[in-house]
Amino acid sequence: MTSNSYLKALDIARESSWFKSSHSNDATGAACISVAALANSVAVRDSKQHNGPAFISPAAAWTAFIHEVRSGRWPA
């Protein structure tokens, strides 16, 4: 990924509709994430840092990760 495409991906992530994890709460210092669906990928960020960095993953990889978590096979 070139630096231009990286910056473009972050701009897209910043402008997307984010939703907070249903497992998040408003406790001070709690580890909460926000997720945004992009065209063929998913962006994840710390919900307390709206302008902070975002992890961008291919949608298929994110779906596989969520499946593993829900099945109880992750973390091992």
pLDDT bracket for residue 7 (50, 70, 90): low
pLDDT at 17 over 70: yes
pLDDT tens track for 42-75: 988 888 887 778 888 999 999 999 999 889 887 7
Cα distances (Å, whole numbers) of residue 27 to 24, 32, 45: 9, 9, 17
Query: How many whole angstroms separate alpha carbon 21 and alpha carbon 34?
Result: 6
CA atoms within 13 A on the CB side of 20: 12
User: How many other C-beta atoms lie within 10 A of the C-beta of residue 41?
Assistant: 17
The pLDDT assigned to 67 comes to 92
